[in-house]
């Protein structure tokens, strides 16, 4: 259980395509609890399970005074948990990086299905770029190759670091990379050299596509799920000939940044619904709105048939009606 005197705590929740991450901080931004959970497929169930784990760690004399969500599923989860804020991933990741390293000037962030670069100058985000289309510059690129080789991504990382002579692997897309890896295996290249070549291929893709036209300056912070991979860290250092800093809490920086944003929001009365919602029956249903030519598919979030919120309507009409209903 978290050891803490009576005080207000702040919760950040980052719901991505591969993982659900939670960070609980005090008002000074000190991390009291963090959780990285690869809960694929059902973000609501994943958050509920994460809440079950966190509830067991909460001190009896503390209360959650503010909650912020982020990530691709953050808007959905905002309605589910009663979060006070929703912030985009660029903002959340930058807030955490700047909090830990105020001098940071470049942030590399690579997750399961997307990758980003953020340019910071004097503590302010001045530019960014995202890759949401090609998987070759994301964590799924590594996951798919590890699965094909019947090893874990942790094994891939450890084995790649044994390489003394990485081979060249085509990294422009996952199909070409897989074909190239198979060819290299069949012609006798060592597995560690192939895997380190794969790491270099992913880094080339990231630097050539996501970072194209961006001014990369030190200090460089590397965070997100893929920042745990030692082969990728090595590939960045060898490709750029620059130092790459891996921050504390590197796997959960989105959630950490969200918690810090909740601290800064000066929330007077939180809308948080409590950790007990892990016991609730929360579901979704969809309908198509025919009120205009957009024909929006509107998603409703329900807790035991009680309406929590709606999303998906471009005009926000149904979303506003849901807020009045609640």
pLDDT at res. 324: 60
**Count of domains for the chain:** 3
What CATH number is attached to the domain comprising 167? 3.30.420.40
Contacts (Cβ under 8 Å, ≥6 apart) of 210 = 115, 116, 117, 129, 130, 131, 137
- Whether 2 maps to a domain, the answer reads no
Q: What is the pLDDT of residues 87-143, one digit of tens each?
A: 999 999 999 999 999 999 999 999 877 889 999 999 999 999 998 655 556 777 788
Q: Would you say residue 97 lies in a domain?
A: no
On whether both 108 and 76 belong to a single domain, the answer is: no
Residue 1, in any domain of the structure: no
**Is there a single domain that holds both residue 240 and residue 175?**
yes
What integer best gives the mean pLDDT of the chain?
A: 89
Does a structural domain hold residue 161?
yes
pLDDT of residue 132: 60
* Average confidence (pLDDT) over 69-78: 93
Which residue reads 């692997």 in tokens? Answer: 169
Based on the domain organization, do 20 and 66 belong to the same domain?
A: yes
Tokens representing 295 are 């024909």
- State the virtual CA torsion across 317, 320, 322, 326 in degrees, nearest 10: -160
What range does the domain containing 290 cover?
Answer: 282-325
Nearest alpha carbon to residue 118 among 132, 105, 101, 103: 105
Question: Cα separation of 68 and 85, whole Å?
Answer: 5
**Residue in 228, 257, 209, 224 with CA at minimum distance from that of residue 69:** 257
Q: Where are the beta strands (DSSP E) in the chain?
A: 7-15, 20-25, 31-37, 62-70, 85-86, 106-110, 115-121, 124-131, 220-223, 244-245, 282-288, 297-303, 306-311
Q: Torsion over CA of 124, 129, 130 and 131, rounded to 10 degrees?
A: -160
Report the C-alpha gap between 38 and 45 in whole angstroms.
12
Binning pLDDT at 50, 70 and 90, where does residue 145 land? Answer: confident
Cβ 168 vs Cβ 189: under 8 Å: no
State the pTM of this model: 0.90
Q: In this structure, are 116 and 237 located in the same domain?
A: yes
* Tens digit of each residue's pLDDT (9 = 90 or more) over 208-240: 889 999 999 999 999 998 999 999 999 999 999
Same domain, 121 and 239: yes
In a domain, 148, yes or no: yes
């Amino acid at each position: 259980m978290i050891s803490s005197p009576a005080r207000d705590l702040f919760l950040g929740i980052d719901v991505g395509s591969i993982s659900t991450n939670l960070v609980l901080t005090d008002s000074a931004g000190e991390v009291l609890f963090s959780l990285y959970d690869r809960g694929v497929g059902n973000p609501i169930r994943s958050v509920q399970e994460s809440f079950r784990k966190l509830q067991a760690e909460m001190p009896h004399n503390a209360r959650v005074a503010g909650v912020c969500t982020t990530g691709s599923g953050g808007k959905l989860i905002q309605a589910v948990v009663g979060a006070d804020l929703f912030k985009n991933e660029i903002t959340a990741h930058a807030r955490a990086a700047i909090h830990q390293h105020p001098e940071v000037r470049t942030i590399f962030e690579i997750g399961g299905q997307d990758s980003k670069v953020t340019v910071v100058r004097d503590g302010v985000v001045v530019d960014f770029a995202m890759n949401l289309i090609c998987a070759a510059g994301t964590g799924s690129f590594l996951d798919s190759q590890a699965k094909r080789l019947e090893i874990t991504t942790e094994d891939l990382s450890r084995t790649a670091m044994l390489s003394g002579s990485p081979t060249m692997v085509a990294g422009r897309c996952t199909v070409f990379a897989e074909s190239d890896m198979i060819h290299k295996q069949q012609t006798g290249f060592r597995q560690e050299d192939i895997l380190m070549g794969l790491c270099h291929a992913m880094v080339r893709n990231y630097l050539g596509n996501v970072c194209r036209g961006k001014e990369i300056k030190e200090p460089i912070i590397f965070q997100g799920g893929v920042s745990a991979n030692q082969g990728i860290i090595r590939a960045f250092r060898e490709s750029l000939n620059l130092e790459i800093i891996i921050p504390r809490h590197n796997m959960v920086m989105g959630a950490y940044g969200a918690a810090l944003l909740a601290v800064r929001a000066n929330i007077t009365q939180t809308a948080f619904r409590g950790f007990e919602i892990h016991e609730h029956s929360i579901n979704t249903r969809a309908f198509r709105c025919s009120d205009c030519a957009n024909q929006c598919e509107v998603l409703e979030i329900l807790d035991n048939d009680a309406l929590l919120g709606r999303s998906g309507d471009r005009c926000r009409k149904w979303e506003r009606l849901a807020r009045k209903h609640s």
